[in-house]
Amino acid sequence: MSTIIEAHNLTKKYNGNTAVEDLSFDINKGEVFGLLGPNGAGKTTTIRMLCCLISPSSGTAKVGDYDVTDINGSMKIRKMIGLVPDNVGLYESLSVVKNLEFFGRMYEAPMQVIKENIEKYLKMLDLWNNRDQAVGTFSKGMKQKVAVVRALVHDPDLLIMDEPTANLDPEAAKTIREVILDLKKDNRTIMLNTHNLDEAQRICDRIGILKTKLLAIDTPASLERTMYGRKTEIIVENINESIVNAVKLEHPLNIEINGDKMMIEMKDPDRDTPSIVSSITAAGGRIKSVSETRASLEDVYLKLVKE
């Protein structure tokens, strides 16, 4: 699988303060990659370096075949990227179409492509009927939708979104997520910063957790599994010492007892659970229920950030 972003030891310092330190990661073509982290973690700084809006203090990064620190390469990178910034930055006295045509021409896209994409994405985001209205009359959610269309108007290879659903109402946020998933089906590459862990879990193929340094990077499911392992919860009527000893003999890993609940840490629940159930039954235990519990992405995130 080919990569579209490669960052190696990327670092940014402001007046002696480190915003991003020694950041290395890559993003594959056609992937939705999420960058999670608390306020001040360096997420927006990372995006600005990748978009060639600021220069790294040290380290390197490539977008496509171009180096972000090279002047000629940076101009080509900017044409490859569609950016949805944390501040939409539209011309409020201009209509939606005039805004989008202006930015499309700034990217030197053919006018036919600009017009086709304006119609395509405004219809997708249910703004086509508002195309001749001044942007200044729009709600925050509508402006955010226009900013998404602006990022797509020149057919970029890479879409980068900084908190795309922040402060939006649930309906508008859902629409933005659906657009991201539709773009993913078209094999678009998308990188987004978000505080919304549920959103990241729903739409991201992989996530990186950042707090100045990169703390972890993997698929949401793999992070949940590797950080917390897998546990099976078995509720047993009248747990006694002989039942507990039988389970420990069968499975000596960590076992927690709380009332009639046994929480057993397992490497492979599919393999281990049947033998443990048999040992409980053989010791005279009456099982009420068996279920696997898994850590959430929120559990993983909070553990990493606090540590």
> Given a cut of 80, is residue 113 above it in pLDDT?
yes
Percent of the chain with pLDDT over 90: 49
- The sign of the CA dihedral 94, 98, 101, 106 is negative
Residue range 71-111, pLDDT digits in tens = 888 989 999 999 999 888 899 999 999 999 999 999 999 99
SS (H, E, C) 242-292: HHHHHHHHHCCCCEEEECCEEEEEECCHHHHHHHHHHHHHHCCCEEEEEEE
Residue with tokens 């546990």: 231
> Residue 213 forms beta bridges with which residues?
211
Residue boundaries of the structural domains of the chain? 3-218, 229-294
Q: Scan for tokens 């005279």, then name that residue.
A: 284
- pLDDT tens, residue by residue, 23-67: 999 999 999 999 998 888 999 999 999 999 999 999 999 999 999
- 269 pLDDT band, cuts 50/70/90, is confident
Residue 264, both tokens: 């057993």
Distance CA(295)–CA(208), nearest Å, equals 17
Task: Please tell us whether the domain made up of 229-294 is placed in CATH 3.40.1710.10.
Answer: no
Residue 227, pLDDT score: 66
**Residue range 256-262: mean pLDDT, rounded:** 85
Residue 222 pLDDT exceeds 90: no
Spell out a b/e string for 57-80, using b for 16 or more CB atoms within 10 Å of the CB, else e.
Answer: eebebbbbebbbbeeebbeebbeb
**Contact status, residue 146 vs residue 94, Cβ threshold 8 Å:** no
Residue 242 has pLDDT above 90, yes or no: no
Q: Name the H helices within the chain.
A: 43-50, 71-80, 96-106, 111-124, 140-152, 170-185, 197-203, 220-228, 241-250, 269-282, 297-306
Is the pLDDT at 1 greater than 70, yes or no? no
pTM: 0.80
283 or 304: whose pLDDT is higher?
283
Note the pLDDT tens digit of each residue in 174-209. Answer: 888 888 888 888 888 999 998 888 888 889 999 999
CATH homologous superfamily, domain 3-218: P-loop containing nucleotide triphosphate hydrolases (3.40.50.300)
Q: What does the block give as tokens for 15?
A: 């007046």
Residue in 46, 41, 142 with CA at minimum distance from that of residue 90: 142
Average per-residue pLDDT for the chain: 89
Give the pLDDT confidence of 115-155 residue by residue, as tens digits: 999 999 999 899 999 999 999 999 888 898 999 999 999 99
